[in-house]
Amino acid sequence: MSAEKIIKITGRGIPLPGDDIDTDRITPARFLKAITFDGIEKALFCDERENTPDHPIDDPAYKGGKIMFVGKNFGSGSSREHAPQALKRFGIDALVGVSFAEIFAGNCFAIGVPVVTVDPQGLQNLISQTQENPKILYELNIDKKELFYGELSIPIEIQENQRSAFLNGSWNMLQNLIGNLSKVKEIARELPYCNDFK
């Protein structure tokens, strides 16, 4: 059993300029009390959206955007899984930025949201052109390691182990465990702290 292969993601962009946007800004702490992620998308940037009427998340020009353009060190702060879950459940299928916090990037990978990097000037160009023309259609091609738009393209970087897992459909660890359950049980029987498998 393998997860869906993620080879390319096509959609319009949502520009979110600014560096060091942390997980508390993405999903404020008061929304972490629930035991499931159902409805967590409502918390996405909610404090900023209350105080910023033209926040990109609420701007009708970017409605339905699938690829979010972010700055440097996006997702820093706590390791909460709620932040990538809120983005994914809102409809964001990929993030393009200058750099990402390591744990945040790992949490995105675990739910099938590629995070890829571009150089700072390339990122600024993507944000500017999306602000000027929100209808631009982007194709984030994991296989070719390029972001295509119109007749142009920009190279992207992605961790090779994540790229391979997306391309061959092995990124979903839970599905990997379920798909190899007999092997998992066999290994568990050897472990002294897994008595239930004896």
Name the band, by pLDDT with cuts 50, 70 and 90, for residue 88. Answer: very high
Give the DSSP letter string of 66-109.
-EEEE-SSBTBS---THHHHHHHHHT--EEEES-B-HHHHHHHH
Has residue 174 got a pLDDT over 60?
A: no
Has residue 197 got a pLDDT over 70?
A: no
pLDDT digits (tens, 9 = 90+) for 28-79: 988 877 778 899 999 999 999 998 888 999 999 999 999 999 999 999 998 8
Name the band, by pLDDT with cuts 50, 70 and 90, for residue 105. Answer: very high
Is the residue at 187 inside a domain?
no
Is the residue at 175 inside a domain?
no
Percentage of the chain lying above the pLDDT 90 cut: 72
Is the residue at 23 inside a domain?
yes
| Mean pLDDT, rounded, for 98-124 | 97
* 53 to 2, 31, 69: CA distances (angstroms): 42, 21, 19
C-alpha to C-alpha distance for 192 and 198, rounded to whole angstroms: 10
Is the residue at 120 inside a domain?
yes
Based on the structure, what is the number of domains in the chain?
A: 1
pLDDT digits (tens, 9 = 90+) for 121-137: 999 999 999 999 999 99
129: containing domain? 8-169
Is the residue at 192 inside a domain?
no
- pLDDT for the residue 1: 47
Name the band, by pLDDT with cuts 50, 70 and 90, for residue 159. Answer: very high
C-alpha to C-alpha distance for 85 and 108, rounded to whole angstroms: 8
Is the residue at 81 inside a domain?
yes
| Mean pLDDT, rounded, for 134-147 | 98
Q: Average pLDDT, whole number, for the chain?
A: 90
- pLDDT for the residue 100: 98
Is the residue at 184 inside a domain?
no
Residue 74 sits in a domain whose CATH number is 3.20.19.10
Is the residue at 194 inside a domain?
no
Has residue 85 got a pLDDT over 80?
A: yes
| Mean pLDDT, rounded, for 114-122 | 98
Q: What does DSSP say about strands 8-16 and 67-70: parallel, antiparallel, or unpaired?
A: parallel
